[in-house]
Amino acid sequence: MTGTLGTKPNALLFGLGAIGSVYASVLQRSGACNVSVVARSNYAAVKEKGYALDSQKFGKHHHMLDGVFRDTKEAAASGIKFDYILCANKALLTAVPTLADQLAPIMSDQTSIVLLQNGVGNEDPLHAAFPNSTIISAVVWTGGKAVPTGEDGVTTFQQFAAEGLTIGVDYAEGLDRATERAKLDRLVEWLRAAGSDITPTEDIQKERWIKVIWNACWNSLTTVTRVRTNHFFASSPGAAEFATKLMDEVVAVARAKGLDIPLDTPATLLARCQVVPGAGLPSSMMMDNEAGRPTEVEVILGTPLREGQRLGVPVPILETIYTIVKALDWKNAHPDEAAAPGP
C-alpha cells in the first residue's frame, strides 16, 4: 500500500500503554497508515508532546500522532473512518461500560477490531455487538512498562523483551472468510514491514488458549500467594505439581472445546517458568492487585472456568482460585467496606 496524503487508511490504538505504544510506533514507522490513539490517563501530555518508545528491539523513537482523543466520542467527532482499531487496553469482561459500548461510536462494517489483550472469551461480546465486522485476535509476546516522564515532558514507554505477535482472524459467522483474511493480511504486511516478528495463523484460538494456560497458572498463583514464581516453587514440596494440576484443568477444557492442545503443554510451560533466574516472575495480575486495580480475572480464569462447567470438565482448582481472586478484586473495589468490616 503506498497511500498518498488524504488517502491513507486509518488505525486507532485504543489504550496507549506499554503494549499500545509498541504497536502505535510500529504502525507509524510502517508509513502505511495514519495512526490515532484514544488515551485516557495520559491524554493531555500525549496530545501536546506525542510519545516516545525506548525499545531494545526497535530503538528509540519519538512520534507525534495524527489524532489524539480522550474517548471514542471525540474520535467519532473527528470524522475519521477507522480501518483498524487495535485494543491494547486491559481486558475487563465485566466492566461497565463494556468494550463494545466504548467502541460503538467509531465502528462501521469496514472497521476491523484487533485484540492485543490477554485471556480468552474476549471476542464473543464483540461479535455479538458488531456482527459485520472482522475481529482479529493476537497473542502478544513482549514486555514493557511506562517510565516516569522526564524533564522534556514526553510520555515514554520502555520495551525490554523480544517482540512477537501470533495473530489470526476469529472468523465471524456469515462473513466471507477470504475477505476477512485479506483484512488480516493487509495489517500483517504493515506490521512486518516495520520489523514486527509476526506470525499469522488460521487457528488463533489454539494459541490464545495456550497462552491462557500459562496466565491462568502463573498470574493467579503469584496473585493469591503474593510471591514470585521461584519463591512459590520453594515454598512447599508439592508446589510445582499443584501448578501442573491447575494447568491440566485448563488443557482439559481447551481440548473439550475441540482445540488441538498437546497434553504435555503444562510440562513445557512449567519448564519454561522454572528456568527464570532469581525470585522468578511476578505477573501483571499480581501487580494490578497489589496496586489496587481490577485484575483480568474474567478472561484469564472466568472464561476457562465457565467453559469447563458448560462442557462438564471437572475444574475444582480453577473454581477455587477464581473465587479467591474475585474476592481480592472485590476488596480493591470496596476499600471502605473492606477496611471497616463492622461488628
Ligand X SMILES: *[C@@H]1O[C@H](CO)[C@@H](O)[C@H](O)[C@H]1NC(C)=O
Q: List interacting residues with ligand X (CB under 6 A).
A: 5-6, 8, 10, 34, 66, 80, 131-132
Nearer to ligand X, 43 or 130 (CB): 130
- Give residue 293's Cα distance to chain centre: 16
CB of 7 to ligand X, least distance (A): 6
CB of 16 to ligand X, least distance (A): 17
Nearer to ligand X, 34 or 219 (CB): 34
Nearer to ligand X, 105 or 316 (CB): 105
Nearer to ligand X, 6 or 278 (CB): 6
Cα 331 to Cα 135, 227, 324: the distances in Å are: 34, 19, 11
CB of 82 to ligand X, least distance (A): 10
CB of 8 to ligand X, least distance (A): 5
Give every strand in the sheet of 51-55, ordered side by side: 59-63, 51-55, 155-159, 144-147
Where helices occur in the chain by DSSP H, the ranges are 18-30, 43-49, 72-77, 99-103, 124-129, 177-193, 204-225, 229-235, 239-256, 265-274, 284-290, 297, 303-311, 316-333, 335-339
Nearer to ligand X, 49 or 331 (CB): 49
Question: Which H or E run includes 115?
Answer: strand 112-115
Nearer to ligand X, 8 or 306 (CB): 8
CB of 155 to ligand X, least distance (A): 18
CB of 141 to ligand X, least distance (A): 30
Rounded to whole angstroms, the Cα distance separating 241 from 37 reads 44
C-alpha cell of residue 26? 510500529
Rounded to whole angstroms, the Cα distance separating 86 from 63 reads 18
Rounded to whole angstroms, the Cα distance separating 143 from 140 reads 9
